[in-house]
Amino acid sequence: MKYLIPFAIVVLSIPFVPATIKAEPNFTPLPEPPPPVEVVLDEIEEEPEEVCEDYTDYGCSCVIYIQNKGINIRGNAEDMIPNFGGIAEVGDVAIFHFPNIAHIAYVEIVYESGNFLVSEWNYREGLHTERVIMKNNPYLIGFLRGR
């Protein structure tokens, strides 16, 4: 048994009335936003300076790299305990704890936003790299300052 459902198409005729827009009193247009001052990427790398055979080669570990910058630290990256947790300053050592490894890097530049550029050895195995770190990086646990 088939059911037929009647339907109708209704066309309404509504006359067009142009809208009038009133300016708000004392309206001031918004200023242009300032130009960006930094590239906001998680990682910006330069060409590698040197490839190491092994991370234990002299100068190829992140800890030895920081020591070669004149900062007095000892131990492994896993042993580093931050003594500062605020906004980075040039010369700080950033400490990262990734799921399977710890890493440290030298803060070269700090941007107005609080993000910062680091130089480092062995973030990519056996290479010297630079990258921009976001200030809210979930693996950043803090900094060593004043060493």
Contact 58, 68 (CB under 8 A): no
pLDDT at residue 142 greater than cutoff 90: yes
* Domains of the chain by residue range: 62-144
- Closest by CA to 139, choosing from 111, 109, 113, 102, is 102
Give the tokens for residue 111: 């941007």
Quote the mean pLDDT of the chain.
76
Model confidence at 85, in pLDDT bands (50, 70, 90)?
Answer: confident
Model confidence at 136, in pLDDT bands (50, 70, 90)?
Answer: very high
pLDDT at residue 138 greater than cutoff 70: yes
Statement: the pTM of the whole predicted model exceeds 0.85: no
Lowest mean pLDDT of 56-60, 64-68, 112-116, name the range.
Answer: 56-60
* Better pLDDT: 61 or 139: 139
Residue 134, pLDDT score:
95
Residue 126, pLDDT score:
73
Biggest CA–CA distance in the chain, Å, is: 92
- CA distance to 4, 101, 144, per residue, from 121 (Å): 77, 14, 17
Residue 21, pLDDT score:
46
* Better pLDDT: 33 or 68: 68
pLDDT at residue 81 greater than cutoff 70: yes
The pLDDT of 114-125, averaged and rounded, is 87
Contact 57, 50 (CB under 8 A): no
> Which of the listed CATH numbers 3.30.1330.30, 3.90.1720.10, 3.10.580.10, 3.40.50.620 matches domain 62-144?
3.90.1720.10
pLDDT at residue 19 greater than cutoff 50: no
Give the tokens for residue 43: 């990682």
